[in-house]
Chains A and B, each alone.
Chain A
Amino acid sequence: MKYIDEYRDPNRVNTLIKEIQTTIRKPWVLMEICGGQTHAFLHHGLDMMLPNILELVHGPGCPVCVTPLEQIDRALAISILPDVIFTTYGDMLRVPGSSHDLFSVRASGGDVRIVYSPLEAITIAEANPLRQVVFFAIGFETTAPANAMAILQAKEKKLKNFSVIVSHVCVPPAMEAILGSKSNRVNAFLAAGNVCSVMGYHQYPAIAKKYKVPIIVTGFEPVDLLRGVLLAIQQLESGQSRVENAYQRSVTFDGNRLAQETIYSVFQPVDRKWRGIGSIPLSGWGLRTEFSAYDAETRFSVENITTKESSLCIAGQILQGLKKPTQCTAYNKQCTPQTPLGAPMVSAEGACAAYYHYHQGV
């Protein structure tokens, strides 16, 4: 398949692996930001081909994993209401709240529907004027433009029966939270190519300089990932800490201006809780005041639902790269994709789920 096969070419992969092997001298810790990258590493078996002294740790870039328990409980409370059609991306159905998940809401008669785009939720709202349609707007900068566009369309169409639960998070504040942590082990980042396609990478040089870490904008195919790894190792071995773009076919320095303007017209930066991490200042997007009428949490009065997260699983340490999923005592015992203890085991993009599906004892 064009644009896929050339980036999965075994010869190019082997050449890059050899280059990485001859370049690396010291043990380094690389963090790939995006859960999609984690899965690609494991899905293709790339992690097993890299030198042992290189350690890959898996970052917080899985939107399902970092959506706080509290927000899921609020979503569950709304989704079971009789006049509500609850729309969400498919992955969210499996994420457990305090006592149940959206799958069980659907089995109990709640009208929960999977959509591929928030604009489908708008179509559903137009077709069901007597019912309330709620969209669970989660995700990083990748899903934010489309979610913002849905809200703009709802306003333009004067839809009174459409609202959103906004749980958007942003990558750069999370990177800074990880680098600023006392226990940080990360030597370099593979930045998420999909996020950078939207936002560009103009926010990264300041981070690279402040924390002295190389940041490589990296794609998702084997050749993309290995190029990212190689550039990071080259910089680390020569004592540099710059931002480089290894995903030029998709990413520019400034990113997609139109998409960014759409985001900024609807959302503003807010403090946001991250599941497994805690509250990070200005790390998410909330609705601007002029769009507050579309806030589902206010509309259905669920803001008072608060949930405390206890400390049974080690997701927090996994999401900042301090531990591997296999170092968790619950991994593959009490905690499996069918009975997840923590969000990283739930999502298709979660680090624990990636290890469970692709790795068990290989």
Chain B
Amino acid sequence: MEYNEFDFDGYACSIPHQTKEKILLGHGSGGKLSHDLINNFFLPELKNAAPRNKDDAAIISLNGRRLALTTDSYVVSPLFFPGGDIGKLAVCGTVNDLSMVGATPIALTCGYIIEEGLPLEILKRVVHSIQETALEAKIYIAAGDTKVVQRGGVDKLFINTTGLGYISEGINISGSNAIPGDVIIISGTIGDHGIAILSVREGLGFETDLQSDVAPLNHLVKDMTSAGEIKVLRDPTRGGLGTSLVEITQQSNVTIEIYERDIPIMPQVRAACEMLGFDPLYIANEGKLVAFVAERDADKVLSIMRKHQYGQSAAIIGRVIEAGKPRIYLKTIIGGKRIVDMLPGELLPRIC
């Protein structure tokens, strides 16, 4: 066969820009699409009603005291998964969002949206789990609400929790506080929750003994703030560590460098990611935090973290190298260098 006459130059693939007039699953992925929805839709629509800070909880000053307020909805499927359930997740997620601005959690409200026909036994297990987790986090369930919708209206059970906390004097934690020299610490292995959930979803054809890392981090944060100056905290949930770090570099307008070699990952998570074509940097966590710590305090904070049950595998994974440009450089295991970007939309498995 001869191709000598073949000429590529006339060909190109071009596709018109798309207008995204509907909400896609990717808008809820915690990645770039979610951020676009907040910045280009919610904030302009809500005008001045919405706070402009981009931390995990809003801070409200009242008579000289600072209160933290946050809300989150939980729609996980399946309701029960290795290492946790929707109830534990609903308490931990909101407690952790309060903790990420350095707040001590005070009270939580729980709204249940239930599909008709849900066995009471299931609800009982979920509520029991909420009670146990609230006890561990030392947070008080102050109010609740129940709505039942017809079959198909929701998938079994959705829970919304709103959390209130207070911030002690001297604590100033925000995504916009990072400066050159700060040391970046992760509290443990990344990707455990996302891969544990994937492993029990239908059709993936892999089994693992991996447990979700879902845990309340407020006690860990308290230990950390008593050990040194914590500048930034974030729990890398949807969108993973990669997306959280991008958010922080943008808020603080800094360039950071992270070391692939030092990021703790369970072998099961690595193996699943290799198989499915996922980058562990974008896999969700529910019991981990990433901290930016003043350089002089880094070792002390790290050793305190390692003594805590939720920080045993804590590790220094990078540092802030300069101000003025939001960017993440990853030093790869083999000595190469690349940038890390936000997850663009829904996490998709690759083809081959």
Residues of A within 8 A of B (CB): 1, 4, 8-10, 13-14, 36, 42-49, 63-64, 69, 89-94, 96-101, 103-104, 106-108, 114-117, 120, 138-140, 142-143, 173, 176-177, 179-183, 194, 222, 275-278, 280-282, 309-317, 319-320, 322, 334, 337-343, 347-349, 356-362
A-B contact pairs, 5 of them (CB 8 A): A36-B350, A183-B8, A311-B12, A313-B14, A342-B15
Residue pair B13, A276 in contact (C-beta under 8 Å): yes
Residue pair B24, A116 in contact (C-beta under 8 Å): no
Residue pair B14, A342 in contact (C-beta under 8 Å): yes
Of B15, B330, B333, B345, the residue contacting A341 (CB under 8 A) is B15
- How far in angstroms is the closest Cβ of chain B from A3? 10
Residue pair A278, B23 in contact (C-beta under 8 Å): no
Residues 309-339 (chain B) with a chain A CB within 8 angstroms:
327, 329-339
Is B36 an interface residue, CB under 8 A from the partner?
yes
Residue pair B15, A277 in contact (C-beta under 8 Å): no
Closest A residue to B276 by beta carbon equals: A116
Residue pair B3, A277 in contact (C-beta under 8 Å): no
Residue pair B334, A313 in contact (C-beta under 8 Å): no
Chain A residues lying within 8 Å of B346, measured Cβ to Cβ, are 93, 103
Of A47, A108, A176, A349, the residue contacting B22 (CB under 8 A) is A108
Is B277 an interface residue, CB under 8 A from the partner?
yes
Q: Scoring B residues 1 to 32 as 1 if CB is less than 8 Å from chain A, else 0, what string do you get? A: 11110111111111111101011111000001
Q: Scoring B residues 194 to 221 as 1 if CB is less than 8 Å from chain A, else 0, what string do you get? A: 0000000001110000000000000000
Is B351 an interface residue, CB under 8 A from the partner?
yes
Known contacts A93-B348, A107-B23, A116-B203; A222/B12 CB under 8 A? no
| Known A14-B335, A96-B18, A362-B329; further 13 A-B contacts with Cβ < 8 A | A10-B334, A42-B338, A43-B338, A47-B336, A114-B348, A177-B3, A180-B3, A183-B8, A282-B1, A309-B12, A309-B13, A312-B14, A341-B14
- Give Cα distance in the complex from A311 to B279, angstroms: 33
Tell me which of B71-79, B154-162, B267-275, B294-302 binds A. Answer: B267-275
- Give Cα distance in the complex from A63 to B16, angstroms: 20
Residue pair B352, A275 in contact (C-beta under 8 Å): no
Residue pair B332, A338 in contact (C-beta under 8 Å): no
Chain A residues lying within 8 Å of B270, measured Cβ to Cβ, are 1, 4
- Give Cα distance in the complex from A334 to B335, angstroms: 33
Residue pair A360, B6 in contact (C-beta under 8 Å): no
Closest B residue to A4 by beta carbon equals: B274
Q: Scoring B residues 101 to 129 as 1 if CB is less than 8 Å from chain A, else 0, what string do you get? A: 00000000000000000000000000000
- Give Cα distance in the complex from A43 to B331, angstroms: 10
- How far in angstroms is the closest Cβ of chain A from B203? 5
Tell me the count of chain B residues lying within 8 A, CB to CB, of chain A.
56
The 4 nearest A-B residue pairs measured at CB: A45-B336, A180-B3, A312-B14, A90-B348
Residue pair B338, A115 in contact (C-beta under 8 Å): no
Residue pair B12, A180 in contact (C-beta under 8 Å): no
- How far in angstroms is the closest Cβ of chain A from B160? 23
Query: Which of B14, B270, B341 has the most chain A CB atoms closer than 10 A to its own CB?
Result: B14
- Give Cα distance in the complex from A142 to B23, angstroms: 34
Residue pair A180, B2 in contact (C-beta under 8 Å): yes
Known contacts A13-B334, A181-B7, A358-B338; A89/B351 CB under 8 A? yes
Known contacts A46-B336, A107-B23, A339-B17; A142/B3 CB under 8 A? no
Secondary structure at the B interface, as helix, strand, loop or mixed, is: loop
Closest B residue to A34 by beta carbon equals: B352
Chain B residues lying within 8 Å of A8, measured Cβ to Cβ, are 333-334
Known contacts A45-B332, A91-B350, A341-B17; A1/B341 CB under 8 A? no
Residue pair B352, A13 in contact (C-beta under 8 Å): no
Chain A residues lying within 8 Å of B10, measured Cβ to Cβ, are 278, 311, 316
- Give Cα distance in the complex from A316 to B18, angstroms: 21
- Give Cα distance in the complex from A22 to B84, angstroms: 55
- How far in angstroms is the closest Cβ of chain B from A113? 9
- How far in angstroms is the closest Cβ of chain A from B341? 5
Is B82 an interface residue, CB under 8 A from the partner?
no
Known contacts A1-B270, A176-B1, A181-B6; A63/B351 CB under 8 A? yes
What's the A-B contact tally at a CB cutoff of 8 Å?
Answer: 215
Closest A residue to B2 by beta carbon equals: A180
- Give Cα distance in the complex from A47 to B339, angstroms: 13
- Give Cα distance in the complex from A310 to B12, angstroms: 7
- Give Cα distance in the complex from A280 to B3, angstroms: 9
Of A1, A49, A140, A310, the residue contacting B14 (CB under 8 A) is A310
Known contacts A115-B203, A138-B351, A349-B350; A44/B334 CB under 8 A? yes
Of A49, A173, A194, the residue contacting B352 (CB under 8 A) is A194
Chain B residues lying within 8 Å of A275, measured Cβ to Cβ, are 13
Is B170 an interface residue, CB under 8 A from the partner?
no
Residue pair B350, A362 in contact (C-beta under 8 Å): no
- How far in angstroms is the closest Cβ of chain A from B277? 7
Of A104, A222, A312, A361, the residue contacting B334 (CB under 8 A) is A222
Is B33 an interface residue, CB under 8 A from the partner?
yes
- Give Cα distance in the complex from A6 to B20, angstroms: 44
- Give Cα distance in the complex from A158 to B17, angstroms: 42
Is B264 an interface residue, CB under 8 A from the partner?
no
Chain B residues lying within 8 Å of A69, measured Cβ to Cβ, are 13, 15
Is B152 an interface residue, CB under 8 A from the partner?
no
Residue pair B341, A357 in contact (C-beta under 8 Å): yes
- Give Cα distance in the complex from A362 to B340, angstroms: 11
- Give Cα distance in the complex from A64 to B341, angstroms: 22
- How far in angstroms is the closest Cβ of chain B from A235? 23
Residue pair B352, A358 in contact (C-beta under 8 Å): no
Closest B residue to A277 by beta carbon equals: B11
Is B64 an interface residue, CB under 8 A from the partner?
no
Chain B residues lying within 8 Å of A315, measured Cβ to Cβ, are 12-14
Closest B residue to A7 by beta carbon equals: B334
Closest A residue to B275 by beta carbon equals: A116
Residue pair A98, B16 in contact (C-beta under 8 Å): yes
Residue pair A340, B332 in contact (C-beta under 8 Å): no
Known contacts A104-B24, A278-B11; A139/B351 CB under 8 A? yes
- Give Cα distance in the complex from A340 to B26, angstroms: 15
Query: Which of A101, A116, A310 has the most chain B CB atoms closer than 10 A to its own CB?
Result: A116
Chain B residues lying within 8 Å of A43, measured Cβ to Cβ, are 279, 332, 338
Residue pair A348, B336 in contact (C-beta under 8 Å): no
Is B181 an interface residue, CB under 8 A from the partner?
no
- Give Cα distance in the complex from A337 to B33, angstroms: 11
Query: Which of B2, B24, B203, B352 has the most chain A CB atoms closer than 10 A to its own CB?
Result: B352
Of B205, B334, B337, B341, the residue contacting A360 (CB under 8 A) is B341
